[in-house]
């Protein structure tokens, strides 16, 4: 099912600001109206994008009391039967299906949407959902450009919507314990945080363009991206490795670790200087994004956030392959991946002898791990989202869209530095580079009409 240009215009017209007033009372939302629910009220959810991350969405939602998965939406009709059967088995309820996102927005029974589509769709789908009066759980990175992230924050605030970022490390018990230890001065003053994405990836090779598979709406899949003929290397999952639709592994896996690093540094702002090196090494394939990156972000107070992406064979660092290393005056901490559920602190002491030599002592400190084995970070993250949907308090989210914007921007800024192969100076308040029109051009992108990012959300 392909949409012609007229259909696309109709889609946008029906899904955008022009019709937000007709959808679930959105005309009053900017004025502060709340559709709060009691803990016993059922929250009706639609899952948008049901492959890979979307599966984890409905698996987690199925475990939360008084949540009903009412609709599954995907542009690939071939995925729907299996997903419907799985949801019905998990919940005892058979969800409806659609390949058209606007139908989800028009359904007054749907309270919230969870978005697990490719990166280039996150901003528009989140903005439209806010305009339609829906709450949103949007996968990481929340945006495809820095400007998109800012517009998403504006939409969430204007329509008073709960918008959770899918960085589930924010709900990981071990990470939360580690952050409390850091905030309680357990490591002393934090001077540097490092994120690691040591995740070897195979060669996607070269694939020729081909006919669109039956049941796939390729035009809608592309949406705001430039039109390209169908290619399997640009479709399911492999879209991560192309600039039109993805952000490389920095925005795919690395966003989790970039978020934790910024969290540990307690930075609620953008960096002022970014430098990065990286490229696509060894493999000969269609991939555009780097598989090796080394990045440094400097904040206004001089604190440093480092990040490494290594998509080829590599050693671990501090027993960490996908995780973080946080450094303080009195020690350091090794935080594992959000799925590992444990972090180890090490306490250090540096002294100078009378002769002028330095001595160094290090011993294991606290070990942080999950205390409730029936829970995991994904389930706890969705539970937090649903609790906030019921209360109407976005302020209680573990990963509000503003946090998502700041962390996703680290990925965008790092990729820009790598693509331009030079150091960049950034104005964190204006969200613009300093006297650098070339770098500024990467803060947004050209949208395929009529899938345009609205100037006013």
Find the helix or strand (DSSP H, E) in which 279 lies.
strand 273-279
Backbone angles phi, psi at 402, to 5 degrees: -65, -40
Find the helix or strand (DSSP H, E) in which 180 lies.
helix 173-183
Nearest to 139 by CA among 233, 49, 12, 267: 49
Per-residue pLDDT at 323: 96
DSSP category for residue 452: P
Per-residue pLDDT at 35: 58
Residue numbers of the chain with a pLDDT score lower than 50: 1-9, 13-33
Ordered by where they begin, the domains of the chain are 5-170+380-400 (3.40.50.720), 175-372+406-443 (3.30.360.10)
Encode pLDDT of 382-424 as tens digits.
Answer: 999 999 999 999 999 999 999 999 999 999 999 999 999 999 9
If you search the block for the tokens 């959105």, which residue do you land on? 26
Per-residue pLDDT at 36: 64
CA 231 to chain centre: 25
The C-alpha atoms of residue 210 and residue 189 are separated, in whole angstroms, by 56
pTM: 0.93
Beta-carbon-side half-sphere exposure of residue 105 (alpha carbons within 13 Å): 28
Per-residue pLDDT at 421: 96
Nearest-10 Cα torsion for 420, 299, 248, 82:
-150
β-strands 135-138, 190-198 pairing: unpaired
Residues in Cβ contact with 88 at an 8 Å cutoff, skipping those fewer than 6 apart: 94, 95
The C-alpha atoms of residue 112 and residue 46 are separated, in whole angstroms, by 6
Structure tokens at 354: 């009378």
If you search the block for the tokens 């006919």, which residue do you land on? 211
């Amino acid at each position: 099912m392909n949409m012609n240009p007229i259909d696309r215009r109709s889609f946008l017209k029906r899904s955008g600001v022009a019709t937000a007033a007709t959808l679930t009372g959105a005309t009053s939302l900017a004025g502060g109206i709340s559709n709060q629910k009691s803990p016993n009220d059922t929250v009706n959810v639609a899952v948008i994008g049901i492959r890979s991350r979307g599966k984890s969405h409905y698996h987690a939602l199925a475990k939360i009391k008084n949540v009903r998965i009412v609709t599954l939406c995907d542009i690939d009709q071939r995925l729907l039967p299996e997903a419907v059967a799985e949801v019905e088995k998990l919940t005892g309820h058979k969800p409806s299906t659609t390949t058209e996102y606007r139908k989800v927005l028009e359904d007054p029974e749907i309270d919230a949407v969870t978005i697990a589509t490719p990166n280039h769709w996150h901003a528009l789908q989140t903005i439209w959902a806010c305009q339609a009066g829906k709450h949103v759980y949007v996968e990481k990175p929340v945006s495809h450009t820095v400007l998109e992230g800012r517009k998403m924050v504006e939409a969430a605030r204007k329509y008073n919507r709960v918008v959770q970022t899918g960085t589930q490390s924010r709900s990981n018990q071990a990470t939360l314990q580690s952050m409390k230890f850091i905030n309680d001065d357990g490591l002393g003053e934090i001077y540097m945080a490092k994120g690691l994405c040591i995740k070897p990836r195979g060669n996607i090779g070269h694939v020729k363009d081909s006919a669109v598979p039956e049941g796939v709406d390729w035009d809608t899949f592309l949406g705001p991206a430039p039109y390209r003929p169908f290619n399997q290397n640009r479709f399911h999952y492999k879209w991560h490795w192309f600039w039109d639709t993805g952000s490389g592994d920095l925005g795919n896996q690395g966003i989790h670790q970039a978020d934790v690093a910024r969290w540990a540094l307690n930075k609620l702002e953008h960096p002022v200087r970014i430098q990065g090196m990286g490229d696509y090494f060894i493999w000969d394939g269609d991939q555009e994004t780097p598989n090796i990156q080394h990045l440094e972000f400097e904040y206004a107070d001089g604190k440093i956030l480092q990040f490494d992406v290594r998509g080829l064979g590599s050693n671990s660092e501090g027993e960490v392959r996908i995780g973080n290393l946080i450094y303080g005056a009195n020690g350091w901490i090794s935080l594992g991946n959000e799925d590992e559920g444990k972090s180890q602190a090490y306490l250090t002491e540096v002294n100078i002898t009378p002769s002028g030599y330095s001595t160094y002592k290090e011993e294991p400190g606290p070990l942080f791990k999950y205390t409730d084995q029936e829970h995991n970070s994904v389930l706890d993250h969705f539970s937090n989202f649903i609790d906030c949907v019921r209360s109407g308090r976005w302020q209680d989210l573990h990963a509000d869209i503003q946090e998502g914007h700041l962390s996703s921007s680290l990925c965008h800024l790092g990729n820009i530095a790598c693509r331009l192969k030079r150091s960049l100076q950034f104005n964190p308040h204006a969200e613009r580079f300093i006297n650098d029109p070339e770098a500024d051009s990467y803060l947004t992108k050209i949208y395929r009409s009529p899938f345009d990012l609205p100037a006013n959300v």
